[in-house]
Amino acid sequence: MRQRIWEALVFLLLAMLLKPVSTRPHWRPSEAHDSAASYCLSWRLAVEANDIYAWRTVPTQCLKHVENYMTGGQYERDLNFIMEHIIDYIDTIEVSDDGLDAWILDVDDTCISNLIYYRRKRFGCDPYDPDGFKRWALRGGCPAIPAVLRLFNKLVGRGFKVFLVTGRDEATLGQATLDNLQNQGFIGYQSLILRSMAYKGQSAVKYKSEIRSQLEEGEGYRIWGNVGDQWSDLQGNCTGNRAFKLPNPMYFVP
C-alpha cells in the first residue's frame, strides 16, 4: 500500500513538473515564415493603397513574396480581374461621334512589362538604376501585358481616342518606345506622348496633369478613363472620369 502511495506521489510530482514544459508556447520554424509572409502582405497592401509614400526599395525580406506575386500567377489574375471591371465600365459609356471621347493609358508596366528587367533587380529590392533602365528600354523588348492589350483593343474598337502618356524621355527613348509598342501590337492609338524637354525634372504628377489638362481643357477631349500602375499616373488635374490603379509592388514613381 505504501509503495502504491509513493508511486502515485512520484507520478503527480512528475506530472506537475512536466506540465509547464508541455503547455509552454514553443517556436516553430514556420512561425518566422508566417510572420514574414504576413508582414509582406501588409506591406504590399499599403504600397498599393498609396499609404507608404516615396519608398525606394522593396524590403529585402519581401523579395520572395514579391517574386511569387509577380511570377506565380496572382499578378496576372489581379490584372484580369481589374480589366473585367474596366470593361464593364466601358460598356456603360456611349461613345459620341464627335471624336472627343478619350482614354489615357500609361506605358511602363501598364501597356508593356518591365518584369524581365526587374527580375535582374531582385524585383525591386535593388535601388533604381536609371542607366540600367535606359539600356533596357532602348532594346525595345518589353513584352505587352496581355490583359491591357485586350483593353487597348477594346477601347480602339469602341472608338475611343487612346493617348499613351509616359514619363520616358522623348529625345532618348522616343523611337525605341514607339517601335516597342508597335511590335507588341499597340496599333491604332491617337498619340504617344513622351516627356519633352519642357517637362524635364518635373514630377510625374505635374507632367502628366499638364498633358491631361491640354487634352481636356485645350483640345476639348473628354477623358473617360485613366489607367496606370503608379498613383502618380492618376493624381493631379483632369484625372479622368474614372482612374484605375494596376498593381506594381516593385517600384514607386513620385
Residue 170 interacts with Mg ion (CB under 5 A): yes or no: no
195 binds Mg ion (CB under 5 A): no
* H-run or E-run covering 213: helix 204-213
Please identify, among the stretches 16-24, 70-78, 108-116, 206-214, the one whose residues bind Mg ion according to the rule CB under 5 A: 108-116
Query: Using CA atoms, how far apart are residues 126 and 206, in angstroms rounded to an integer?
Result: 27
Q: Which is nearer to Mg ion, 160 or 231 (CB)?
A: 231
Applying CB under 5 A, which part among 1-9, 106-114, 150-158, 174-182 lies near Mg ion? 106-114
Size of the site for Mg ion (CB under 5 A): 4
67 binds Mg ion (CB under 5 A): no
Q: Interface with Mg ion includes 142 (CB under 5 A)? A: no
Report the residue number whose CB is nearest to Mg ion: 108
| Minimum CB distance to Mg ion, residue 246 (Å) | 8
Number of CB atoms found within 10 A of residue 195's CB: 22
The correct pick among 101, 108, 170, 216 for binding Mg ion (CB under 5 A) is 108
Eight-state DSSP code of residue 59:
-
Please report where in the chains the cell 501590337 appears, as a residue: 185
Task: Name the residue among 89, 108, 135 with its Cα closest to residue 248.
Answer: 108
**191-195, strands of its sheet edge to edge:** 191-195, 161-169, 101-105, 222-228, 242-245
User: Binding Mg ion by CB under 5 A: which of 109, 207, 208, 238?
Assistant: 109
Q: How far apart are CA 250 and CA 159, in angstroms?
A: 33
- Give the torsion through C-alpha atoms of 169, 234, 116, 201, to 10 deg: 30
**Residue 106 binds Mg ion (CB under 5 A):** yes
Grid coordinates 505504501 are at which residue?
2
In the bound state with Mg ion, the residue whose beta carbon lies nearer, of 65 and 113, is 113
**Which of 180, 192, 229, 250 is close enough to bind Mg ion by CB under 5 A?**
229
Nearest to 251 by CA among 16, 52, 84: 52
Binding site for Mg ion (CB under 5 A): 106, 108-109, 229
